[in-house]
Amino acid sequence: MKRINVKLAVVLVDALMGCAMLQSQELWSFDRCVEWAQAHNISLQQSRLSEDMSAAELEAAQARWQPSLDFATTHGYTNAPWGNNNKNSYTGNYGLNAAWTVWDGGVRENNIKHGKIQTQIDRLSTDDLLRTIETDLLAAYMNILYARESMAIYEEAVKLSEAQADRARQLMEAGRLSKVDYAQLQSQYEQDRYSLVNARGTYDSRVMELKKLLEMGIDDNIELQSVEWDTADVVAPLPDIAESYRLAVLTDVKLKALELAEDNAAIDVDIANAGRMPDISLTAGVGTGYFAPGQSFGTQMKQSFNESVGLTFSIPILDNKKTKTAVAKANAQRLNAQLDIQARYNDLSRSVETWYIDTRAAQSRYTAGLEQEKAAALSDELVNEQFRLGLVNTVELLTAHNALLEARHALLQAKYMAMLGHKMIGFYRTAQINMP
């Protein structure tokens, strides 16, 4: 019996160790979230498909330099019931035809240039989408960490308010505290429990937002690794804002894509102007035919054999202002592309400046919050001791309790806002997010 118990204990220990290892393996780092999104995000996969389609369009544009070649055969049967000759006849024609555009005003060359640039734009668009996903993941990741720490604050508050309610009950039973005061402390305990429930709901909502970014289902579970930042990390000095803006411009893939889009718009102007240019095309072919009744098939095929070659020179004269309209639209698109570039410069400038303002404000709130939290904790400790001695009333106790909760949450919020700002400023400078 003892051997069985020992074996059972060993099995249970192994199982617990396995569960612990499994739980440790299930912890998600920020880098793992990014890797998962790269492989599973639907929008990212669709953007990569756009890259493939652009590559196919480029291949089609390059193929327009090649001549076309086709084989055609036509067969007909005629019935003339009231004619003097034979009532029925059969005809068959066979031809091999080739065509090649010698000159089209430079449209083919420009289409190839346009296609090459478009493939680069689509590649940059995918990179930009990935950057957007990374920043969205960063915000979701930080929100989860904040919600988890906020939940821990409420858990501690519940324990404290429960102890206070128990102490109040003891004082009430001893006749040293009124029922009204006890009811107030019991109400505070229930309020803290309610706040804890809300905090857990907020945490679950933040996890759901992260799962949405990762394209995870309802049955998928995710637990994030803990990230620790000390005061030095939070209040670390920010780099020079002008340098950060300059680096943001250099590393911004959306700006690069817009600059390439302007190049494509210039090519579109050249393509539109090609409507005024002449077209030159060359055609050639060989063919033969057969009809029945008539001579033998071989004789007719030989005698009907023919070769042809042709040159077509087309000069546009009037096209109902199609070319003029196309050129005007292309020029407007080019100007619009230039405005998009300027707007992107302005967006980058505002974004960088906004993050600096928000981060500095959060750092200031955090520095002030440290002292406020210390003062609130000391005050709460003193008021609790006085309450145990019966020297203060419940109103003062509740006031100190709520002030401590508010100070801790304000400090926590400032901490995560400052760290989010640090990460975003670093992202604008290096196009990377470094998360420990």
pLDDT at 88: 78
Rounded Cα distance, 129 and 51, in Å: 13
Could you tell me what percent of the chain has a pLDDT over 70? 93
* Two tokens, residue 193: 């429990």
pLDDT at 391 exceeding the cut of 80: no
pLDDT at 85 exceeding the cut of 70: no
Q: What is the DSSP string of 140-203?
A: HHHHHHHHHHHHHHHHHHHHHHHHHHHHHHHHHHTTSS-HHHHHHHHHHHHHHHHHHHHHHHHH
Let me know if 192 is exposed, middle or buried by CB neighbors in 10 A (0-12, 13-18, 19+). Answer: buried
Rounded Cα distance, 149 and 201, in Å: 13
pLDDT at 86: 56
Best CA proximity match to 199, nearest among 148, 145, 143 = 148
Rounded Cα distance, 174 and 181, in Å: 14
pLDDT at 11 exceeding the cut of 50: no
Total-model pTM: 0.83
How many Cβ atoms from other residues are within 10 Å of residue 133's Cβ? 19
Answer whether 390's CB lies under 8 Å from 203's CB: no
pLDDT at 293 exceeding the cut of 80: no
Q: Give me the mean pLDDT over the 63-89 stretch.
A: 82
Best CA proximity match to 423, nearest among 126, 145, 42 = 145
Rounded Cα distance, 316 and 295, in Å: 47
Which tens digits make up the pLDDT trace of 191-222?
Answer: 999 999 999 999 999 999 999 999 998 888 89
How many Cβ atoms from other residues are within 10 Å of residue 384's Cβ? 18
Answer whether 174's CB lies under 8 Å from 397's CB: no
DSSP secondary structure code for residue 288 in this structure: E
Let me know if 284 is exposed, middle or buried by CB neighbors in 10 A (0-12, 13-18, 19+). Answer: middle
Reduced to 3 DSSP states, what percent helix, strand and coil does the chain have, rounded to the nearest 5?
70, 15, 15
Best CA proximity match to 268, nearest among 120, 61, 107, 124 = 107
The one-letter code for the residue type at 328 is: A
pLDDT at 424: 96
How many Cβ atoms from other residues are within 10 Å of residue 391's Cβ? 11
pLDDT at 319: 86
* Two tokens, residue 235: 């209040």
The residues, ordered by sequence, that sit 6+ positions from 144 with a Cβ below 8 Å of its Cβ are 203, 206, 207, 210, 224
Query: Is the pLDDT higher at 23 or at 387?
Result: 387
Query: Is the pLDDT higher at 34 or at 7?
Result: 34
pLDDT at 239 exceeding the cut of 80: yes
Query: Is the pLDDT higher at 190 or at 81?
Result: 190
Could you tell me what percent of the chain has a pLDDT over 90? 67
Mean pLDDT of the chain: 89
pLDDT at 242 exceeding the cut of 90: yes
